[in-house]
Structure 1
Amino acid sequence: MGESRLKELVKHRDVILLAEIGALIHDIGKLSVEFIRTKSPENPPNEKDKHEKDKHEKDKHAQWVFEWHSQLERLLNNFKIHVKGIQVSTKEGKQSTNAEISLIKLIKEHHNTEYIKFDERQMTNSDYAKKYLMTLFSRAADGIDSGIDKGAVLDKGKQPFNQTYISTSFGYEFKRIEVEKEELRNKREEFVRVLEEVLTSLNNLLSAGKVPEDNPESKWIELRSKLYKKAKECFSYGLGETRRSANDVTLWDHSHSTASLYKTALANVILSGEWKDPSQVKWKLLLIRFNGLDYIFRGVKIGDIEGRKEAINDASKEVRKLLEVEVPLGNEIYRDENGLVFLVPGSLEDTTLDVTLDDGRTYPLKEKRTHSLKEKIYGIFNDKTKGELKPVIKITEESSRGAAILGYSLEKYKVIYNRPFEDEIKKKWEHSQDEVVCSVCGLKPADQKEKICEDCKELRKSRAVEWAKNRKEQTASTIWIDEIRDKNNRIGIIAGVFDLGFWLNGMWLNTCFTKTLEDLKEEKKDIFNSINSWEDLISAVEEALMLNNPNAELTKFKKPDNSGIKVKELLKALGGESYHNQPANEYFEAIVVNREGEILKELYGIDVTNAAPREKAELLVLFLMRKNPSFARIRRIWETCNRFWERVRMDVIEYLRNRGTRTRYKIVLDQESEKEIKRLLEGNKISKYRAYEIRAGNLRFPVVIVEDDLLLVDYVEDEDEKKEIENALKNEFELYEPSDYGYHSIKIYPVEREHQERLKCEKLVEDSRYIPFFSIIEDYPSINAFIVPLEDAWEIVKKIKKLYEIEFSKVQNRLPLKLGFFAMNRKYPLYSALDCVEKFRSEDAGVYEWKIKDSHRAESEEICRNFDDRLGNYVQKLVLESESRELTLYVSYSLGDSSGEDEFYPYFVTSSSSILLYADVCKNVLNLPVNKVSVKHVKELSKDDRVVFIPSIFDFELLDSNIRRFDLGKDRSHRLFTKSKNKPKPYLLWDIDNFERLRELIEKLGLTTSQVMNLYEMLIAKIEEWDLKELSRDETFKKFVENAIKSTPLRLIVINGESERGKISKEDYEFLKASIMNGIFFDFVDLWHTVLKEKFGKE
């Protein structure tokens, strides 16, 4: 593919972007109460609807929108998608053809079946060619996205008009569509106002006869960004499909994915120069990847981290502009801390990225006028990251019509080590003299005094400038660690991690369903009368594949009247609208092979070209019953996680605000001191927006200069401390370079030999108020981290745990949360603390096979008390055990309206059977003998069932020395259990409840800090003296523990009743003893007393 085809793509930019807008808004009529009503069980279709051939007559939402918004119809009539010069092979040779469609027609008639069938031989017919773009939309965008999203949902899943809920991708029905408040109408009108503004501007931009703008793509970028922002905001209130379980894909998810698919399909036609059969159009992925945390965590100060995050964000924005608008190959479909992924045409090859394209514009690689796409992307990253971060740019070899390729490719092209732009770094060293390597980036030359290069210094300063500009906003946080510290001079980094790999590659979606066999038997009684299990269903489809004749009858299964079931009846009942009376093997090709054929062998270990009918049947049944990994659903998965972390941040900020905002003070100097500061600034002895240290006697405080003001950026606890600082600074103070800019702190003013006057403060006055919070990592689905005062860390950890248990209740066994916090002094090196966060990501409980110890439906009072009544009426309480570990789990199987039970999400993997999982994962991660499993609904689990359960973990560490960070990671070490197989760290997430229970128990028993510490020290001494390796199995130590509880030092009496001062119930006694034997007690004491510096009991 040469430069000419890329030029054609740029030449068709307006066409592609208009088509994208048409696809984005094609279902705008669904943002209405009327749509919800027509899809509800209260409004069943009449006979005419049931037999209507032209589907667009039935789906009236495509017509309603123009009855409500006549001005919009007039505007859309101005725009046509017109593709020119596409070649078709005829008997006479190659012939150039054109195709066009109006945007208004795309919206009004996108469900019209007249446009579904494609015949290349008719493309020379001008009338037929004009219809091609609708065919492309139906078969390669809207049809495939909505078809894969919904699977074959049943009418049983219809939601009541007043009780229609939006679900997350994990089954949490968090929002009811408030039809009584006209919420949808308001959002639609809000969106249409912006849409009309954008269309009016585009009409002016594209009108014939007008002088074109010098840079029309910049206008496109502005208008498109405005439209997408408003579409995401408004469309997120609606649904593309209201029936369960397809209600996890919002109108935004569906519209964005459809627009991306159509855009890419159209780009594919233009790039290849050939009309493509829409049913065969495939896509590839363009990955731009790096190790984001490695780059960001090189920062030694908060300002460095902020600057590096912003550099990645800026580069990502520019790349999106390039690939989505300037050279419109496709849209971004995924992003995380390690880069971006774009959906691109299946005809695109890696070599295409190296083809030069002269578009008359210059990019950061200024020595060339012509650039390949790869050079442009490199140029953007080179410019924004100052030569430090050269991404890996790769187009997947595999193409697909499905989205499972995303997770597969993320793992395949994972970047471990970053690389810089070597030529750029070499240039920095060409004229260096007596310089050292920068302490931040570790690449460029830096002044020996400051140890930081000019680029890193500029990044740091830019964030300080931004902070200064926004510091007086009501919700302002801070970028200064000293402002976050607590009264004990300590901070906490809280980190949360989701491992989304098995969701992004679609594997765990194999255990979530669009329908159940019971639903099929209820709604299609004739067909599924004698099919009573998943294995029966596979056997029926296996026979259908072997017969391969739509009209042939199955022999193994019959209707209730003993008449035969035709192959086409079975497949229609299973596949719904996706089945078109074709032979079973053709249907298998369309549903399975066309979607994921190129990676099926990698995923399932099945070669579909030589697969036996049984293997084909297992795949086809799975693909028709599961929740399919469409691009809309995969996007919904990672955006759900993104929104979870956003809620966590907002909740934490609100919690800290309620705890009390803090005051930042300005140091008002006397006149002489003001003059001295100005002289120092003018003489470049000091700089604005940079931290310094002032010293008054034995007191030291961090300050920063904002304009001409000296701001104290330290936590001032109360009015008494403010007065103490004020009095100290009134005498006199000195100005120092802080030690962490170099190896030693250097005095700046006064310099003794120059006999300079000391600096003096007149008073401290309030400058602004702030919340003690800094977000280290945000806006990514898989990881979130922030800094808070250490004294608040425990309460925040508990809040995050509860939010996770509510929103991810149904998938806690398949989507684990890793939650940890790291305590440190405010002077502890930040880069070392961030290294802990990175190491923490690899921690794992390491136990995936669990046994059900108890299973029963939870009591309503218990649910309400523990989860704020947000889990619904149907909740199963499970007690699971594995080796020496035990946990209690609450799994919701409620729907949003509490009217029934969720049959789609809350499943556990149990014994071997016929549901396929990915072969490599089963063998190397889950340690399963085969990749065919069975699943059980949570309410059906019973005592002694064995299940696959990937548990969430909790960990904490006191970073009292730099080497402590090496305890963390995949091979987690513990100071007391270095030789134990059952070392307690990392803990299970649910052990947070055990920590809390210990705290409450000590308080109930009235134990003092002295008693608890005496017990702690006595037990540790005995462990060391006896060189114990496995506490839980040592009977002698167990007896010693029992004696310690009943005698010295606790002297507790075991009773039948409730625990109270001096008396402990039998249940609490066993719990306390078990906590000591499994190690929780020791870590609880460390956490509460040593880390959080709290006292025990009621002291």
Structure 2
Amino acid sequence: SCCQHPLGYPAGSDGFRVFLATPFGYEKDVLDPAIYDQAKDELEKAIQMMLATDEESFRLSKFERQVKSWLQRALADTQRPLNDITVWDVGHSGMAFLKAGIWSLHQKGSTSHQELEKQKAYWRILRYGLKGLEFLDQAVSVPDLAARQCLLKNELDAMKRFLEEEYPVATEVYRDENGSLYVFPDLDWQSEWWTAKTHLDDKPRQDPVSGGLKLADVYGLKPHLEVTPGPYYHRPNRGPQGDLPYIGTQIREWITDPPTAEVHLAAFATTGQKQGELCPYCGVRIIGGGAELVSDGAVELQRYSEQSRQLKMCCPCLKLREGRAADWVKRIAGGDKAYTIWLNEVADVNGRLALVVGRWDVEQFMERMHYPQKGTKRFVILARATFLGDAVPSHGQKLRVGVRRKSVDLDWNAAKQELIGIHEGDRPDIGRFQRDQLSIQLLDKEASTLTATLVELAQEGEELYLYLQKEAAITSRLIPERKVKIFGCDFIVVDKHILRPAGIEAKKKILEVCCWQSDGCTFFLSTIQTIPLTPVVHSESFARLRRVWETTRQFWKEAMYDFQQRSEPSKFRRLELHSREPGDWAANQAYELLLDGAKLSVVWDGERKCFITADNLAYLSQPQQLGEDVQHWLQTHLGQPLSVIQSTGYGSSDKRVGDFTIERAEDVQVKSESNHTPSISILTEPQTFMVLVPAQAALELVRSIKQKYEREMGKVRPRLALHLGVVFAFRRTPLRVILDAGRRMLRVSSPPAVWDVESTATKGGRVAPSYLRGDPHFATWQELVLRRRTDGRRAIWRVPLKMGDGTSDDKWYPLVALEGIAPQRGLAHVKVIQPRDDILHHGIEFIPTTFDFEFLDTGGRRFEIAYDDQGWRRGRLRGRRPYLLDECDVLEDIWRELRCGLTLNQIHILRDTIEAKRVEWGLQGESCPQGQTVFLQFCRDMVAAAAWKPGTRPDTEKLALYAARGWLADAVELFLEILKRNDSQVERGDGDYGLTV
């Protein structure tokens, strides 16, 4: 180990690189030792400022921000694999327990040293939250969604300030879309803290965008507050009597089971007193109601009441909508090109957008968060046995064989006809026979003796045959039909290398001496395989749990940044529309201008007295819309009045509210031109990801996430599943319909399954795929081709074998569980995994990553997004989904084959004919078993009969199998009907991950 500097950096380490690892084994350079003094100075400066600040002015949150960035770059330990924890992780977790522990002891009245020594500190957990996705997917529009997120965040922030600063008894250790979790003292509910908490609800929320409105007042809901009834201990299985539960386990359970929100009845107090339609945004007040919550003066009250009735919403919802729109106008006027809150801006040139969702299966990873443990060497022994005689073992029966004066117990697996066992110590040298060297005495004049090696025993009826290793010195001396003696018994030479006992005694002798005898069974081992295991320990360190959550959250943020950086130079534009007589339009409100039947979405900038376009101008330029550039069209219609339309909400027609005569239309000025794809980020939480992007950019984002996942999580891929999905929709599809579909898609799960290793190869960095090439972790890597045993689906696992310096071998992370071997008994390093053979074929445990998609041609289509317990889509024609994430490239390869070889009409005919026959014959999903080979032959005939362009005929057998499985239909739906790709230039994937025929 290294001599550590106070910040975790080795002293005097010229040229020494310090790496911080994620809990998934991906290392990055952290603080350069050369600037260590700067880090020390910045920390000391922050501490001195904190000490000099008076109690009233001090803000813990501000102090945390000042020191966090530096402490997150300081390692708590520089030794691998302990370098995945930072000083911030340890310090924050330690202070959370210390603060709450002090309160626990104070509550018990322990003040003297003698009393404190006798007391034990325990902790509880406080949670404050609601079912976030269910709350958010009720949003009617993006401004409404942003308002809901803002108000929920304000509530969580207010509780955090109260618990950490105003009444400092607890520390927030986790937060996501569902709320916050705190390490809380072991306090009684009737304590003074509970009395103090009641004042929190009366405090206004300080947020300029929400205007001081609170979640409970607007939506009639409050986050649920709950404290665990009993105490917990801070270490797993370490209570004083070993009977206290671990606090980390309860936190994990609460994360997966968010609470239901509490109803705030006061918000509904006036609902039944007035007649009218309920506000569709909040469902709490009638349209036009709630003016007293948002205004003080009579004039302002009257304005809100009238305008909210026009827009068919209540006054609080109008104020929140105005706040988000005003923020957008301000940022756009300031030159921020990338920011948007309008679905029409996100939609692509075809008027379609996509909700990309993702979910980590973090809970399954935490159950398998194993780290190598120093100790005895351990091996798993796999063997095929041949039993001689009538005794055959039952399933699970233990049979013993000897290894160098030791014995190994092997368990009989009746289903696989194999023996399996664990050996501790040096690599075992188990022979197939108890004794395989035979001394053969020839009955000739010289009575010479030969030494032969027994290689096989075969029983045919009552006869037993001994097969000897073929050696010239042996076979030349054995003459058929003659007798020889072994162990004093007579044997007859059947062939030059085959003997048989000449009687019962000889047979018994050979079985007794050469074969293994155990528990009444006589056997020898026909095949033996020995695999080294890595002893592991399951880590539930609280600091490491927090590190996992922080890393997965950061992954989503970095993935979106990488996606934007890889985007093509943006052609996205906005226009400012000015008029000599601008009119009196409502500031920051959305309208539509009628342009020859096409509708252009605009927002009124009240300060600069102009409309700003809030639409994808490229879409409006399409032949189905204006058929020409929007700005050009406007320039040719200067001075002509354009009708201004205002949406009046669902269930009623849009209303014409006036005319607008354009004097000039010019581009909105931006600070700088950059790569940019319009997007609206909804969630980037530890487990959940949601973002709205143009439909044509969705698969590129999926590909970007997939590549980052392979690069940074490739070592632990069998344990950390990632589920991605895309919901495609028209730009006019209600937002709540899109969000509901995305929430349904996030319910997918993949149970662990056994996968067989078809092939494995060690490769160098130069032959890695382009997105992995140059990464030091992939200087050497292992490629495993895996096949799921249940359905034959294939995946390629690319495993980096190096650490962040590109030279150190990774001994800690690329570990997998072998079929039938409990992880507690050891995991196998990926380098020792052997491909499946026809004799011994133990698979590995692998949790697959998945990809799903759905196009909402109607709102009701979202109800078809449902999954069974095995993770498959329910429904006759969706059963082939979700796909493995690797298979995204296969779908693109299928489309490339079709588009390069057939016309669009021919593609439609081929797809429709095959799918019509599938429906006619009642075939389910992807099923194409042996009994349905007629359908597979039909697909072969259809593919072969298609009029392929010269030189483009594909592999008929492979494409026919894809067609029979339904993949061809999905490729056509995805690339032609949804994304409208009519070009023949489709990028090939990195490999063929499909099914073999």
- Normalising by structure 2, report the TM-score: 0.72
Query: Is 1:423 aligned to residue 319 of structure 2?
Result: no
**For the structure 1 residues 452 and 973, does the alpha-carbon distance in structure 2 shift closer, same or farther, using more than 3 Å as the test?**
farther
Q: 1:1092 aligns with which of 968, 979, 994?
A: 979
Secondary structure of the residue aligned to 1:1050 is: coil
Alignment of 1:129-144 (within 5 A): none
Q: 1:195 to 1:513 in 2, by over 3 A?
A: same
> Across the two proteins, how many residue pairs are aligned to each other?
776
Q: CA deviation at 1:938?
A: 1.7
The equivalent of 2:448 in structure 1 is: none
State whether residues 100 and 123 of structure 2, in contact with CA within 8 Å, keep that contact through their aligned partners in structure 1.
Answer: yes
Look up the equivalent residue of 1:1091 and give its one-letter code: I
Match of 2:347 among 485, 502, 511: 485
Give 1:151's aligned residue. Answer: none
Map of 1:64 onto structure 2: none
Q: CA deviation at 1:430?
A: 5.4
Question: 2:605 aligns to what?
Answer: 706
Number of the residue aligned with 2:832: 940
Does the 8 A contact of 1:407 with 1:501 survive in 2? no
What is the distance in 1 between the residues matched to 2:871 and 2:556? 29
TM superposition shift of 1:1098? 5.0
Within 5 A, what are the aligned runs for 1:609-624?
Answer: none
Partners of 1:996 and 1:557 in 2: CA distance: 49
Output aligned runs, 1:14-33, within 5 Å: 30-31=6-7, 33=9
1:1013 corresponds to: 908
Secondary structure of 1:30 counterpart: coil
Q: Retained in 2: the 8 A contact 1:1011–1:1050?
A: no
AA of the residue aligned to 2:696 = E
Pick one of 174, 178, 184 that aligns with 2:32. 178
Q: Which residue of 2 aligns with 1:893?
A: 801
Unaligned runs of 5+ in 1: 1-26, 43-160, 207-215, 368-378, 521-529, 537-555, 560-621, 682-686, 750-757, 917-932, 1053-1060
Give, in whole Å, the separation in 2 of the partners of 1:484 and 1:533: 69
Q: Is 1:242 aligned to 2:137, yes or no? A: no
Match of 2:566 in 1: 655
Which residue of 2 is the match for residue 513 of structure 1? 372
The counterpart of 1:667, out of the listed 543, 567, 577, is 577
1:295 maps onto 2:135 in alignment: yes
1:781 Cα deviation from its structure 2 partner: 0.8
Q: 1:411 aligns with which of 235, 242, 253?
A: 253
What's the counterpart of residue 939 of structure 2?
Answer: 1041
Match status 1:459 vs 2:335 = no
Shift of 1:462: 1.4
Tell whether the 8 Å contact from 1:999 to 1:1096 is kept in structure 2 after alignment.
no
* SS of residue paired to 1:1022: helix
Distance of 2:808 and 2:873 partners within structure 1: 49
Q: The residue matched to 1:341 in structure 2 has which SS?
A: strand
User: Is 1:643 the counterpart of 2:541 in the alignment?
Assistant: no
1:48-59 → structure 2 map (5 Å cutoff): none
User: Could you tell me how far 1:811 is from its partner in structure 2?
Assistant: 1.6
Partner of 1:715 in structure 2? 616
- In terms of mean alpha carbon deviation, does 28-37 or 327-336 score higher? 28-37
| Residues 844 and 986, structure 1, Cα contact 8 Å, conserved in 2 | no
1:676-695 equivalences under 5 Å are: 677-678=583-584, 681=585, 687-695=586-594
User: Taking structure 1 as reference, are residues 384 and 177 closer, same or farther at Cα in structure 2, changes over 3 Å only?
Assistant: farther
1:258-310 Cα distance to aligned partner (Å, 9 max, x none): 22222222222323221544994332211113101111221111101111111
Assess if the C-alpha contact under 8 Å between 2:271 and 2:284 holds in 1.
Answer: no
Check the 8 A contact 1:363/1:380 in 2, yes or no.
Answer: no
Which of 726-735 and 659-668 deviates more? 726-735
The CA deviation string for residues 330-389 of structure 1, in whole angstroms up to 9 with x for no partner, is 2111111111011122x223444874249xx9544389xxxxxxxxxxx99655765323
* Partners of 1:778 and 1:278 in 2: CA distance: 47
SS in 1 for 2:181: strand
SS at match of 1:478: coil
Match of 2:922 in 1: 1027
In structure 2, do the counterparts of structure 1 residues 1091 and 557 end up closer, same or farther at CA, with 3 Å as the change threshold?
closer
In 2, distance between residues paired with 1:627 and 1:558?
22
SS in 1 for 2:847: coil
Partner of 2:778: 872
Would you say 1:365 and 2:270 are equivalent positions?
Answer: no
Give secondary structure in 2 for the equivalent of 1:888. strand
Residue 840 of structure 1 pairs with residue 759 of structure 2: no
Q: Which residue of structure 1 lines up, in the alignment, with residue 173 of structure 2?
A: 333
Q: What is the letter of the counterpart of residue 507 of structure 1? A: E
Q: Percent identity?
A: 23
SS of structure 2 residue aligned to 1:875: strand
For the Cα contact (< 8 Å) 1:974–1:983, is it kept in 2? no
What letter matches 1:343 in structure 2?
V
Partner of 2:810: 902
**What is the CA-CA distance between 1:492 and the residue it aligns to?**
1.2
Look up the SS of the partner of 2:817 in the other structure. Answer: strand
> What SS does the aligned partner of 1:827 have?
coil
Determine the structure 1 residue equivalent to 2:67: 231
| TM-score, length-scaled by structure 1 | 0.65
Q: Deviations over 1:872-905 (max 9, x none)?
A: 2332222222222222221223211222322222
User: CA contact under 8 A between 1:857 and 1:877: conserved in structure 2?
Assistant: yes
1:32 Cα offset (Å): 6.6
2:660 counterpart SS class: coil
Secondary structure of the residue aligned to 1:637 is helix
Aligned equivalents of 2:156 and 2:85: distance in 1?
26
Q: Does the CA-based 8 Å contact 1:531-1:557 persist in structure 2?
A: no
Aligned residue in 2 for 1:60:
none
* Higher fraction of helix: 1
Match of 1:735 among 632, 644, 663: 644
Q: How does 1:198-597 map to 2 (within 5 A)?
A: 198-201=50-53, 205=54, 216=56, 219-221=57-59, 224-274=60-110, 275-277=115-117, 280-345=120-185, 347-352=186-191, 355-357=194-196, 363-365=200-202, 387-395=220-228, 397-402=230-235, 405-412=247-254, 418-429=260-271, 431=273, 433-447=274-288, 450-471=311-332, 472-474=334-336, 476-503=338-365, 506-509=366-369, 511-513=370-372, 515=374, 517=376
**730 and 808 in structure 1: CA distance in 2 versus 1, 3 angstrom threshold:** farther
Native 8 Å contact 2:342 2:614 kept in 1? yes
Aligned residue in 2 for 1:20:
none
8 Å contact kept, 2:747–2:867 = yes
Equivalent residue, structure 1, for 2:665: 764
CA distance in 2 between partners of 1:811 and 1:475 (Å)? 38
C-alpha spacing 1:1096/1:355, structure 2 compared with 1 (3 Å): closer
Aligned-residue offset at 1:636: 0.6
- Residues 67-216 of structure 1 mapped to structure 2, 5 A cutoff: 162-175=16-29, 177-179=31-33, 182-201=34-53, 205=54, 216=56
1:986 lines up with 2:882 in the alignment: yes
Tell me how far 1:729 sits from its aligned partner.
Answer: 6.1
- Aligned match of 1:962 in 859, 871, 886? 859
Conservation of the 8 A alpha-carbon contact between 1:498 and 1:783: yes
Cα distance between partner residues in 2 of 1:702 and 1:412: 43
* SS of match in other structure, 2:907: helix
How big is each residue's C-alpha offset from its partner over 1:711-742, in whole Å with a ceiling of 9 and x where there is no partner?
12112227833111443464211222215465
1:344 to 1:786, Cα distance in 2 relative to 1, 3 A: same
